[in-house]
């Protein structure tokens, strides 16, 4: 990955430099110490990593000493088994890179065409398929000992933008999707109780 694409700062031209890694460690240490000084029991998630764009070498390793949880945003690229496996492999790789830190998926979502976003098409043809995809992701993530959970990106569908919501802009539930999500969440909760 090109460092300028990652952070837009032309001064950081060599992400492999000692300076860059030291700067990342300094930033993580400063933030962590400032928070822990006020609240020693505060959980440090670390910076949100955009799992779809990657990150320069050294960023995760530099922060790992000062965080408890790795916080990764990840929108999987497709809906086939290899796409789910790539998601698991990528997330596990970052956990390993951070010395085995657990991962909390900061944002994850999917979309399909709706009345409000008819051009926001994907391989998921309807709300039930979105719910089924959610269940696939939940099953894959719950099977990983390093995964703490995930946050769904978008409660309300935005008109003309993201189609990721679970309700329409008119407060109408996407019941087919929600039913699948509910089943997946109940199964996830039950697996934790075993």
Q: Give the CB-side neighbour count of residue 75, counting CA atoms within 13 A.
A: 12
Quick: pLDDT tens for 109-123: 999 988 888 888 889
Structural domains counted in the chain: 1
Exposed/middle/buried for 128, CB within 10 Å: 0-12, 13-18, 19+? middle
Please determine, for residue 138, whether its predicted confidence score (pLDDT) is greater than 70: yes
Give the domain extent around 31.
3-193
- Per-residue pLDDT band for 145 (boundaries 50, 70, 90) equals very high
State residue 7's pLDDT score.
55
**3-state class (DSSP) for residue 109:** coil
Please determine, for residue 1, whether its predicted confidence score (pLDDT) is greater than 50: no
CATH number of the structural domain spanning residue 41:
3.20.20.80
Quick: pLDDT tens for 72-107: 999 888 889 999 999 999 999 989 999 999 999 999
Report if pTM > 0.75.
Answer: yes
């Amino acid at each position: 990955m090109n460092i300028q694409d990652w952070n837009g700062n032309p001064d950081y031209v060599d992400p492999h430099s000692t300076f860059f890694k030291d700067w990342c460690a300094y930033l993580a240490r400063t933030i962590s110490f400032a928070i822990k000084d006020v609240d020693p029991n505060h959980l440090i998630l670390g910076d949100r990593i955009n799992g779809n764009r990657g990150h320069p070498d050294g960023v995760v390793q530099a922060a790992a000493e000062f965080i408890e949880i790795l916080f990764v945003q990840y929108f999987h690229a497709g809906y086939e088994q290899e796409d789910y496996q790539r998601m698991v492999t990528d997330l596990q790789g970052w956990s390993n890179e951070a010395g085995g830190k657990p991962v909390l998926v900061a944002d994850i979502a999917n979309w399909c065409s709706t009345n409000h976003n008819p051009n926001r098409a994907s391989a998921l043809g309807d709300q039930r398929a979105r719910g089924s995809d959610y269940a696939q992701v939940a099953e894959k993530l719950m099977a990983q000992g390093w995964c703490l959970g995930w946050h769904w990106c978008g409660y309300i569908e935005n008109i003309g933008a993201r189609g990721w919501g679970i309700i329409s802009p008119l407060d109408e539930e996407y019941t087919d999707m929600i039913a699948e999500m509910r089943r997946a969440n109940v199964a996830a909760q039950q697996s934790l109780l075993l």
